[in-house]
Chains A and B, each alone.
Chain A
């Protein structure tokens, strides 16, 4: 998949949202977050969890990047977009 296409497709204020029945859950044993849905568990790192927490259908990609920038230094928009497009491709979230 072409990164430019992905970036272009997410420019116009689309608001990523997790699919129905998917949610973020804290896992004590792993001391980390999981994205859990029907027949699916995705083990997340901290930044992945931080992005997914904002995938609520209210935040645009720009909002997500802005919000991450308050918590992390040097947030790379392309990496956020690429992470989101993986969520779409795996049918874990919709834009």
Chain B
């Protein structure tokens, strides 16, 4: 390996989502649930990513929690040594599911559920995001 690849990957594990946020940057042409990549296909991607030098996996969607096998992706990523970050609305995240994901090796999770009337985006440190930065 002479030229290391990317440091992180953003994995849109599903395009299913219970929300319809106006600011969502998802593709318009959504992949139907039946055509999503399988868990095994994701595992293959993760191994390839690790071999390329990827250190960080951001799980997003759609709503990543819409996949019942999400914990399998998390566990595999953890076993491969990836820092795993779940980006979720938090909707449908029960305490049990959160614990299962944490036990599987999820490193961090961040939620952004914005009220439509008041949209104040922040970065992960909680600092407001403005057009200038």
Contact = CB atoms under 8 A, between A and B. Distances in A.
Interface stretch (B14-22, B23-31, B52-60): B52-60
A21 B81 CA distance: 15
B53 A30 contact: yes
Interface stretch (B3-11, B67-75, B89-97): B3-11
A41 B107 contact: no
A36 B57 CA distance: 11
B38 interface: no
Q: Chain A: interface residue count, which band?
A: 10 to 19
B83 A25 contact: yes
Interface of B: 1, 4-5, 7-8, 50-53, 55-56, 58, 81, 83, 85, 107-108, 110, 123-125
Interface of A: 21, 23, 25-30, 34, 36-39, 41, 43, 91
18 contacts: A21-B107, A25-B55, A25-B81, A27-B4, A27-B55, A30-B4, A34-B55, A36-B56, A36-B83, A37-B83, A38-B110, A39-B123, A39-B124, A41-B7, A41-B55, A41-B56, A43-B7, A91-B125
